[in-house]
Amino acid sequence: MIVYPKNWINIGQSIQIKEIENTILQVLSEINCNCISFSGGLDSSLMLYYMLQVYDQVYAFTMGSSEEHPDVEYSKLVVSDLENVVHRVYIPSYKELEIAEFRHGDFEGDKEVRLFYKYVKQYTDEIIACDGIDEFMCGYYSHQDKPYEDTYYTHLRELSGKHLIPLYKNSGDVKVYLPYLDDGLISLFSQIEISRKVDKGCRKKLLVEMADGKIPDEIIHRRKYGFCDVLKIKG
């Protein structure tokens, strides 16, 4: 008889949405952090939904160039009917932007990340972010343009150098939790075929399926922006 691993009978089987959701909830229970970096996009809106299943109150932090920035408008749409979410919107002043320094070796968006976490630090010393889900669930437009294995692994290999290391450097002493990169979730994500994640017509197909009925349709189908655009897009 097989005594290890305990879950041997499930290995190689098709991954079900309920398995992913249960793992997310378990991760959130272990993390015990009720603050989130919130763009009002699919990834963070879905994470907010799950956080509200675990925590009595959630604090969401959004950054934009103005009140008309898409991230600000969409994030407000998501939380508008949620009484147990405290939503803080950060619009950097001209003075803050002027004195924000560009450092040698910066990637595009690094300055914005530093501004955001400096703001967050005024309210909390720990926060959840949703980095990594685009890589594992095919969230980039290049995934949709070329929904192939090479595209998938190119983005995956760039995750650490282009995203995680800069986040580590620029978040200061705010403790950042990345639930989507939990070992258990990565194990599940890695067993899902690329065709179930993306095709020429849709990115993040499985996340879209997960989000159906949980968050507004406008959020599911909105255009994706990155942190490098957070102070550029004017709305």
Whether 8 is in a domain gets the answer no
Give the CATH number, domain containing residue 84. 3.40.50.620
The sheet that has 175-177: what strands, in order across it?
85-90, 58-63, 35-37, 126-128, 175-177
Whether 54 is in a domain gets the answer yes
Among 196, 182, 185, which Cα is nearest to 152's?
196
Cβ-proximal residues to 7 (8 Å cutoff; 6+ apart), any chain? none
Domain count, the chain: 1
Supply the range of the domain harboring residue 178. Answer: 18-229
Is pTM, for the whole model, over 0.85?
A: yes
Among 91, 86, 194, 54, which Cα is nearest to 137's?
194
Strand (E) or helix (H) holding 176: strand 175-177
Cβ-proximal residues to 19 (8 Å cutoff; 6+ apart), any chain? 188
**What does the pLDDT profile of the chain (235 residues) look like in tens digits?**
999 999 899 889 999 999 999 999 999 999 999 999 999 999 999 999 999 999 999 999 999 999 999 999 999 999 998 889 999 999 999 888 877 777 766 777 888 999 999 999 999 999 999 999 999 999 999 999 999 999 999 999 999 999 999 999 999 999 999 999 999 999 999 999 999 999 999 999 999 999 999 999 999 988 877 655 556 655 5
Whether 170 is in a domain gets the answer yes
